Amino acid sequence: MVWLIAFHIISMVAWFAGLFYLPRLFVYHAEAKDLISLERFKLMERKLYYFIMTPAALITTLLGVILLSFRWTWYLEQPWMLIKLAGVLLLWAYQLYCGHLLKAFRNNQNRHSSGFYRWFNEVPTVLLILIVIMVVVRP
């Protein structure tokens, strides 16, 4: 069980690394003007999203479900766990919206300013704080 927890945390860290970095790439992409930079950001964003973020999100979720399965009924009676799971659902929504934004950039249809992405970049930080407090403090 401790190995599952360890790999759950490791994959979560990798997922959050992508959740923090992709919107930062969007900031720079929104500010870029030259074709070389625009194409470079498209490549970096695609690789980050499909080869790091998405696999890490899937592994994190799979391991989380496995860990939940050991004490399913007990966990689902705990308010802190329900709040944590709601936070994870919001992370998935954020992940999927990042994919939507990635496609808009890929198709040269970005409609947001770099300022929007600077604020957008703060969402996973708030969710990380919420999730960690729920798991560690269990208020």
Q: Say what the pTM is.
A: 0.94
Q: What is the number of domains present in the chain?
A: 1
Give the pLDDT score at 36. 97
Q: Given this model, what pLDDT does residue 83 score?
A: 97
Token couple for 135: 């798991």
Q: What is the pLDDT of residues 21-80, one digit of tens each?
A: 999 999 999 999 999 999 999 999 999 999 999 999 999 999 999 999 999 999 999 999
**Which among 133, 117, 102, 139 is positioned nearest to 28, based on CA atoms?**
117
Average pLDDT of the residues in 97-115: 97
pLDDT for 38: 96
Tell me what pLDDT residue 104 has.
Answer: 98
Cα–Cα nearest to 51, from 97, 15, 105? 15
- One DSSP character per residue, 13-49 reads HHHHHHHHHHHHHHHHHHH--SHHHHHHHHHHHHHHI
Range of the domain at 47: 2-136
pLDDT confidence tier of residue 5, bands split at 50, 70 and 90: very high
Q: What average pLDDT score do residues 83-88 get?
A: 98
pLDDT band, residue 103 (cuts 50/70/90): very high
Give 55-68 pLDDT, tens digit per residue.
999 999 999 999 99
pLDDT of residue 123: 97
